[in-house]
Chain A
């Protein structure tokens, strides 16, 4: 397998320019998919036969959960690559994932609470999925806290990378333990995705939202990673060439 492309991505100027060209190709589809998904979910889709319109929260809650988890895996992968191959760009990507992933996880929790109150009559419920998401949020906060507490960039990169890898190994273990714990203390989870089988009018907008939010995540993550790369490389010749001699893409 030709590894040249892989090491080329490790070059900051190459990454900066390629990522810059990719972002619009992610951002515009993301916007369209999200608009379509929200319109489909909030306006067109029928109300759930049991939860009526409250089930529409699912169109933001489920994508948020999905992105929150995916962001953590991408972050851990980028962190591991950065550790093993010592690529600053990879560490910048990992750093870019964290705030977005944490935001989506928080959104998942809050929308979960807003869904829980009308459905279960309580703001918080010890549903295993909610608890796992809460623990995931703490993993993110630990990562962000560690990054923030270490001043030296290289050391912060590597330490938080170790934490990300340790964390990603723990996510399935924690999830399993929480599911098992929950099965002991409660009946089967009340949080259903709108019934035994969702009609197309319901799952199509949901899928659109999931894809849209995924594209959104990658777009914003690349934007952050680019900014991070430029911040770290500000003394570099390629930065000078880019900004002074023109041809800078926004």
Chain B
């Protein structure tokens, strides 16, 4: 075997290596684009979930503030009482009420401010 070296019988098609270089470079570019697209998709999904979590947190906190019977009874009653007054009494009646219960001096001061 050392006397005369026998080569292998394999041959490559003409221009194969030149074509291969171009082909593999294209494949790499396509795959890189795919990877970028996948990364953007994952990022978008992440943002979506973050927005949903933030919104849920905000809504949860607001509803707790409004409807928590222990901490917000005063706020709640204020909302309801003001609503009740405004829904049952006309604006003229409210003005009359203010005028009747305010002294002349106080009215003057109000007018001066305006």
- Do chains A and B stick together as partners? no
Residues of chain B whose beta carbon lies under 8 Å from any beta carbon of chain A = none
